[in-house]
Amino acid sequence: MASFHLKTFGCAFNKVDSELIKKILIKNGFKEASENEADFIILNTCGVVEKTERKILKKAIYFKKIGKKVILAGCLPLISPENCQKIADGIIGPNDILSLPKILKNILNGKKAQIISNRKIDKAKLNFFSIQKESVISIVPISEGCLSNCSYCATKNARKNLKSYSQKAILKNIKLSLKSGAKEIQLTSQDLAIYGLEKNKFLLPKLLKEISKIKGDFKIRLGMANPAFFKKIQKEIFEIMKSEKFYKFLHLPIQSGSNKVLIKMNRNYNKKEVLEIIKNFRKDFKDSILATDIIVGFPTETEKDFKETVNLIKKIKPEILHLFRYSKRKGTIADNYKDLPDRIKKERSRILNKVWLEICNQKNKKFVGRIFEVIITEKIGNQFLSRTNSYRPILLKEGKMGEKYLVKVNSFSPYYLIGEIISSLK
């Protein structure tokens, strides 16, 4: 019996893809093993930034040197096919994972193999969800691909245009997750807001209403939503989020605080529209968590543009900031622009991160002494991570996974609060 070892890079969507890969291979007679014992190493890849690509290919070369067969799955084979073909014994696209057993059998017979297609499959119908280790969190994708054409993004070259999964299958996966012990459902996609738009309908509100009707004591966390589309359905979504089943959490990737840069990025919204969304969100949910993404060092970003971004972050005060230095990717519009020196990107990243950490320290300091109702969702080492109704993280020394408690906040870091249990809430 041939064995495999799987490594995952990138986003939550890739984590779920990896769980599906495991299920498919085990069902077809393959056995999971350690990387030292495995016949095949499968790298489920991400190609968002060049640094990650280099890391993945370096890993693939290492495994080849120690005599392993290497298969590259995920986005990278479509973003950098030539580099992948030079190194790997097999490559496969993200929508071709059902063909992975065939590829492995070909490689066992001494052949190189690859399958890259533009097919669209409704993965949700394959019981497409993933319960994370040491947690009660289930990641449930609702769609794949996007409708945007951001000038810097290579992911669309891999995931292609939007494919919304069937509502019936999504609801089934959530119910299966809950039966398996999940207490937190994370809905994910490249852009949550566009669910259903290939049919010219914004179907996310309808889906969320149906999810909120599912019986059980659990929380729903919404994934990333592009402001260009989310601005059109924000009022409906915020109204639905008033249900106790939803974390008061919004992931709105802004990318830049400069309208000039946003135009060059082809993001299809402006700063005023973003501020309107955030104003409405904070108004409806006083205790809330705002997450955003920022790219610093985009080729056309001037010092003035960067200062506008810094000022925007100071104004909106996000609790979570995913900060990226711009990375050139082949096949994108921005690849034709003159890149900024790395030293400028690093310095701008350092400045913005420092500003954000100061914001977080100021915010989190105010929570010391307060009491919150939480649910424990993850175990991290010897400690437990709990979440408030807004998705605010509070680290605890004790507790039981999936249980609710009253906790008191004793101290803080920029990234989380630190508390102690006062009582159980069974």
Q: Please provide residue 221's backbone torsions phi and psi, each rounded to the nearest 5 degrees.
A: -115, 125
Cβ atoms of 157 and 79 closer than 8 Å: yes
Same domain, 143 and 279: yes
Same domain, 309 and 394: no
**C-alpha–C-alpha distance, residues 147 and 161, integer Å:** 6
**C-alpha–C-alpha distance, residues 389 and 217, integer Å:** 13
Rounded (10°) CA dihedral 127, 132, 137, 142: -40
Residue in the structure block whose two tokens are 């990278």: 76
CB atoms within 10 A of CB 173: 26
From 88, 115, 142, the end of a domain falls on 115
Helix H, strand E, coil C: the string for 105-157 is HHHHCCCCEEECCCCCCCHHHHCCCEECCCECEEEEECEECECCCCCCCCHHH
* Global confidence as pTM: 0.89
CATH number of the CATH domain containing 14: 3.40.50.12160
Same domain, 321 and 220: yes
**C-alpha–C-alpha distance, residues 262 and 345, integer Å:** 17
CATH number of the CATH domain containing 399: 2.40.50.140
From 75, 92, 115, the end of a domain falls on 115
> How many domains are there within the chain?
3
Task: List the chain pLDDT tens, one digit each, 426 residues.
Answer: 789 899 888 766 678 888 888 888 888 899 999 989 999 999 998 877 777 888 889 999 999 999 999 999 888 888 888 888 888 888 888 778 888 888 888 888 877 766 665 566 666 666 667 788 899 999 999 998 889 989 998 776 666 678 899 999 999 999 999 999 999 999 999 999 999 999 999 999 999 999 999 999 999 999 999 999 999 999 999 999 999 999 999 999 999 999 999 999 999 999 999 999 999 999 999 999 999 999 999 999 999 999 999 999 999 999 999 999 999 888 889 999 999 999 999 999 999 999 999 999 999 999 999 999 999 999 999 999 999 999 999 999 999 999 999 999 999 999 999 999 999 997
From 335, 365, 395, the end of a domain falls on 365
Range of the domain at 380: 371-424
Same domain, 139 and 111: no
Residues 6+ apart with CB under 8 A from 207: 142, 167, 170, 195, 196
**C-alpha–C-alpha distance, residues 179 and 317, integer Å:** 37
Same domain, 377 and 267: no
Same domain, 345 and 310: yes
Q: Which two tokens stand for residue 2?
A: 């041939």
